[in-house]
Amino acid sequence: MPNPSYTVSRFLQSEIAGGLLPGGQYLIGEELQIVAEDALGLAVIEPERIPATLGTIYDFASLTKPLVTALLAVILEERGLLDLNAPLANYLTEFEDKDKREITLTELLTHTSGLPNWRPLYLEAQNRDDVPSAIARILLEPQPSQPKDVIYSDLNYILLGFVLERRTGERLDLLAKREIFEPLGLKRTMFNPPPGVIREIAATERGQEFELANAIADSKTRSWDDKTRFASQYRRAGVSQAHWRKDLIWGEVHDGNANFMGGVAGHAGLFSTARDAFRIANQFLPGSELLRPESLRLFTSNLTRGCNTSRSLAWILAETSDCSAGPALPPTAFGHNGFTGTSLWIDPNKRRVFVLLTNRVHPRVGAIDMRNIRRQFNALAVETLSRDGDGET
């Protein structure tokens, strides 16, 4: 078992002691090998105190986007089942209407579709199958006249999840299990964890106060007609503040839209550990067991030049100013964060992987600057590998 980096562990322990995080799990890897790992603090604070371990399963939130949805999209493209440059309308009939502007799969993958960053789809769709139609209706709303730029959006990856499902005829979680989890031998990676493992899962927020506030704010930013429609659908769905999740969210997905979709969505819903995430992350590096060598450039190339953010397929590139990579990582590194407190960064040149998993939203969402925590973690991880390379302990 690799020795953990005591510098990294001390840093995270100080954040835990300061009340910023209940606990966490991390892994530092290089050349397909685990160099350092540790688990600290608590996976659950209430209703009981359960320590975090290296086997604790975390809600990965938006890390679902690169580790499942984008990876599957490229796998299917390699097999000729998808054309990433094709219009979305080729795969989802809800977008065939000529009044809806043309969006390609690559634009969804790089967040350049122009769709807004978030909508409470559970207030606008009748059920999971109606979600693509609900998103399509957004394109009929008045749009600002401006050049396309990067707008990070859950809606992009929700649609990609439906593309994958309709193209294969298989639900996303089953497709991921067959194409990713089982081939890599992942035992603690899943959607919708079974009830029997709940005590092995890090808890998240008590209730949905944070998302409820966002839904109310979202309605206030729309036009009067939009707000009227929002209120009407809010009432028609029988959704009121009293009907939102109030109990501790533990063992089910934290994200409201993913929960509405039965825990299986292209933007969120993945549960896993740092060790399993390390296995998936290595598939984006030379020697991938799942992808052809020529496909790897899709994850390292800047596909959004001239935009406000440098992005490849699914990942943000470290050359992006003020991103969570921090100055310790080279501009060629790529990574992604998850709202629950997760982070994964990859340095393709040195074949390094840095995984940080926390449940910073437990027991409630606070004003925590995760960007600085992630940057400091990455810096200490690089320092750990430098010391290890010098033969120090």
For the stretch 42-75, pLDDT in tens is 999 999 999 999 999 999 999 999 999 999 999 9
Take residue 361 and report the two structure tokens written for it: 């939203």
What H or E segment, with its residue span, contains residue 278? helix 274-281
* pLDDT at residue 141 in the model: 82
CA atoms of 353 and 345, how far apart (whole Å)? 6
pLDDT at res. 142? 77
Torsions phi, psi for 23 (to 5 deg): 180, -175
Q: Is the model's pLDDT at 99 over the cut of 80?
A: no
Measured in whole angstroms, how far is the alpha carbon of residue 317 from the centre of its chain?
Answer: 15
Residue ranges of alpha helices (H) inside 169-239 are 172-176, 209-221, 224-236
Contact residues for 88 (Cβ-Cβ < 8 A; gap 6+): 95, 102, 103, 104, 105, 108, 159, 163
Q: What is the pLDDT of residues 263-309, one digit of tens each?
A: 999 999 999 999 999 999 999 999 999 999 999 999 999 999 999 99
Residue ranges per structural domain of the chain = 6-68+183-221+247-389, 80-168
Predicted pLDDT of residue 393: 34
| Residues sharing a CB contact under 8 Å with residue 293, sequence separation 6 or more, in sequence order | 286
Does 391 have pLDDT greater than 60? no
User: In the CATH hierarchy, which fold is given to the domain comprising 6-68+183-221+247-389?
Assistant: Beta-lactamase (3.40.710)
On the question of pLDDT at 223 being above 70, the answer is no
pLDDT of residue 237: 47
Answer yes or no: is pLDDT of 114 > 80. Answer: yes
Phi and psi for 311 in degrees, rounded to 5?
Answer: -135, 145
Query: Tell me, what's the pLDDT at 367?
Result: 86
Banded model confidence at residue 1, pLDDT cuts 50, 70, 90: very low
Q: Output the CA–CA distances (angstroms, integers) from residue 146 to 109, 111, 114, 129, 143, in the order listed.
A: 20, 15, 10, 32, 9
pLDDT for 166 equals 98
